[in-house]
Amino acid sequence: MASLLHTCYRIGDIDRSVAFYSALGFEEIRRSPVGDSATNVFMGLPGDGPRLELTYNHGVSEYEIGTGYGHIAVSSADLDATLAELAEQGITPEKPPYRVKQGGSRLCFVRDPDGYRIELLERTND
């Protein structure tokens, strides 16, 4: 059976991106050189493995995201607490949390340092 191994996208600054994803609860698992031209930084949530691959191509500081990228989603047990912690690090949502449908989970979006959208989805044990 197939399984999803990881998602990858390109970043413009390793330290800036690692700090952002660390604020979301990710941990840096490893860095791997790709010859002399790039570095891959693998990050994951505690206990889950390297699910996010951030590729830094040496000397490239920004990318056009394009129209095909949507977002990745990260769960939060308490969205308000998560947003308060992120605000202390200068990370703010695009707009306040909302529900797509009545009774649905609360969610909001933040953007990483390269402009990629990250959905924060409140998951409760209701």
Put simply, whether the predicted model's pTM sits higher than 0.95 gets the answer no
Where is 85: in which H helix or E strand? helix 79-87
Note if 119 is an active site residue. yes
Across the range 30-42, mean pLDDT stands at 96
3-state secondary structure 15-76: HHHHHHHHHCCCEEEEEEEECCCEEEEEEECCCCCCCEEEEEECCCCCCCCCCCCCCEEEEE
CATH superfamily entry for domain 71-126: 2,3-Dihydroxybiphenyl 1,2-Dioxygenase, domain 1 (3.10.180.10)
Non-local (6+) Cβ contacts of 122 within 8 A are: 75, 76, 77, 78, 79, 97, 105, 106, 107
Q: Do domains 1-63 and 71-126 have the same CATH topology?
A: yes
pLDDT in tens, 81-108: 999 999 999 999 999 999 998 888 999 9
CATH superfamily entry for domain 1-63: 2,3-Dihydroxybiphenyl 1,2-Dioxygenase, domain 1 (3.10.180.10)
Which one from 28, 62, 119, 122 is the annotated catalytic residue? 119
Delimit the domains of the chain by residue range.
1-63, 71-126
